[in-house]
Amino acid sequence: MARHLAITYVRHFITKENEAKQYIGWTNVPVIKPKNVSHELKPEIVMTSDLLRCRQTAHLLFPNHVIECSYRWRELHFGDFEGKTYEQLQTVKAYRRWLDDPFRYAPPNGETFAQFEARIEQAVSDAIHRSVSHVVVVTHGGVIRYILSKYAPDIRSFWEWHVPFGEGVTLYNTKERWKEGKRCISLAAVHFKGSENG
């Protein structure tokens, strides 16, 4: 008999640095707290990136849950580009090279896409080996893009996916299909009522 596992991936609430369009992969900054957040999700496990913006989002959304934190759910490490904007970096040769082919080149002192991918796959493996039917993961935009490009039922590239800050997506699959790395059976967007930041 097939065992079903839904994983909901939630992008953290927005930060001041996000509003300023800075690269903040591993930079530890707080969120702008939203007003009156509500939802109907009832996960058995809540996992999150160990970075502050994700931990804060997880505690705001799931105040009565134990939150499991892991560095594996972190955004790509942008290395020397951390804290900077496109305007500040656009004339830097290493930045231009990375922008032209981010899957081949890494930011100086940052993470390669292959390292990022391997780290996320380890985190997914941890989630799918739990004896539960619904897991929520509070993480980052790049992580969710990668997950959707690999596991969503409709095939789109990494750059074609977008989940807004403070929103999410649930992927439905069987545990067997998750373990085999097969695409999910279905997908649904998750919206949080009153998630406007104030």
Q: How would DSSP label each residue in 94-154?
A: HHHHHHH-TTT---TTS--HHHHHHHHHHHHHHHHTSS-SEEEEEE-HHHHHHHHHHHSSS
Q: For 73-132, what is each residue's pLDDT tens digit? A: 999 999 999 999 999 999 999 999 999 999 999 999 999 999 999 999 999 999 999 999
**Distance in angstroms (rounded) separating the CA atoms of residues 116 and 41:** 28
The closest of 139, 138, 75 to 107, measured between CA atoms, is 75
Tell me, what's the pLDDT at 1?
A: 58
Question: Do 31 and 53 form a contact (C-beta atoms < 8 A)?
Answer: yes
Average pLDDT over residues 184-191: 94
Q: Sheet containing 134-139: which strands, arranged edge to edge?
A: 67-70, 45-49, 134-139, 4-11, 168-174, 186-190
Dihedral over Cα of 101, 187, 178, 8: its sign: positive
List 171's β-bridge partners, or say none.
Answer: 7, 187
Average pLDDT, the chain: 94
Tell me, what's the pLDDT at 194?
A: 59
Question: Do 75 and 49 form a contact (C-beta atoms < 8 A)?
Answer: yes
CA distances from 50 to 5, 65, 75 (A): 23, 16, 10
**Domain spans of the chain, in order of start:** 4-194
Domain range 4-194, its CATH number among 3.40.50.1240, 2.30.42.10, 3.40.50.10070, 3.40.50.720: 3.40.50.1240
Q: CB neighbours of 54 closer than 8 A, spacing ≥ 6?
A: 12, 48, 73, 138, 139, 140
Question: Do 41 and 64 form a contact (C-beta atoms < 8 A)?
Answer: no
Band of the pLDDT at 36, cuts 50, 70, 90? confident
CA distances from 147 to 84, 119, 141, 152, 167 (A): 26, 12, 10, 7, 15
CA angle 159, 10, 48 (to 5 degrees): 110
